[in-house]
Amino acid sequence: MNPLLQHLVEITGHRDHARLEISVISALHQLGNVKEVRALEVVTIGEETFVRPKAWINDGALQSIEDPQHAEIPRLPLLAYPALAACIADKSAGREERSASGEYELWLPVWLQEKVVACLEIRNDQAFGQDTLNVIHGIFHVYRNYQSLLDYSERDALTGLFNRKTFDAEFSRPGHSPNTPGAHAATDEDSPRHWLAVVDIDHFKQVNDRFGHLYGDEVLILMANLLRASFRAQDRIFRFGGEEFVILLRSATLATARQIFNRFRQTVEHHDFPQVGRVTVSLGFVSTHEGSAVEILGHADQALYYAKEHGRNQVCHYHELISTGQLKKQTQDHAEVELF
């Protein structure tokens, strides 16, 4: 098969962004004969825009922020990327320039609904020839169009967070499986493992009734921004509908998970929501080390509603509630369970 066609088959054969980006930068590196390629994530939180690399090629090796060793790479303000900032300010489809170090740079932002959500950064020691630019732009257009299709099917239209359909697929991926071999017992508090949390906005119906659904929608959008800012790149955040969100927190001890979830709760409590004022959330969480997806969701849901029934604006751990007798285990027929 023609190498270009083979790469296009690889690019369009994936159903998640991480693999899509790795395929794209691999294709650009090989077919475009360029020195360095990076796929950048562009996120707007409140009034500020931040940028972070998601996938790149380093010394010929593919790297991704999905890898644990790169998980702590921070988001930097957009101003740290002046060429990309200029693209966004000019609403430009791309920008080519020479850096202070003498490298030739090509910046290709991905626009979705008049907002930049990603960017490809391509560097080379020599100026980009026309044939090279034609290949690069062709691959970029396939990437942009396919990413748009993935966003449409995977993300919630209002908040831009992943939707329930994506959660089902994500939870079944290796590393999220609740019955991963070697998983640690729920009582081993010092062992890092994965956690699932269900978040609910307290008294959200009153927000809609008092201020109207437009302000209610704004609260949901701002809540999504706070969630993005509070969790790491390898974590996953979903909107299940209404005012309910789900978080998959990867590789953390119980103490760290509790700290992270409480820090998010406090961030929300101290945030000033325009017109609405103060808003709080309740959160229930559980380890994903055992049980089916339905059982794990059900346990987190039980912890959440315990939090809501006992004062709201708090974080509750399911296994702790069970061990202290504050909550009793409920056995349910999986076929009859309907969450949220």
- Using a 10 angstrom Cβ sphere, with 0-12 exposed, 13-18 middle and 19 or more buried, the burial of residue 52 is middle
DSSP bridge partners of 97: 105
Catalytic residue among 21, 41, 243, 295: 243
| Annotation marks residue 336 as catalytic | no
The H-assigned helical ranges of the chain are 3-11, 17-31, 82-90, 130-154, 164-171, 204-211, 213-230, 254-269, 293-309, 318-323
DSSP string, 151-169: HHHHB-TTT--B-HHHHHH
What is the C-alpha separation between 78 and 84, in angstroms, rounded? 8
- Using a 10 angstrom Cβ sphere, with 0-12 exposed, 13-18 middle and 19 or more buried, the burial of residue 80 is exposed
Tokens read off for 56: 């790149």
Tokens read off for 72: 């702590």
* 312 C-beta neighbours (distance < 10 Å), count: 14
- Contact of 132 with 33, CB cutoff 8 Å: yes
Tokens read off for 282: 């309740």
- Using a 10 angstrom Cβ sphere, with 0-12 exposed, 13-18 middle and 19 or more buried, the burial of residue 3 is exposed
Angle 186-188-193 (CA atoms, 0-180°, nearest 5)?
70
Catalytic amino acids?
A: 243
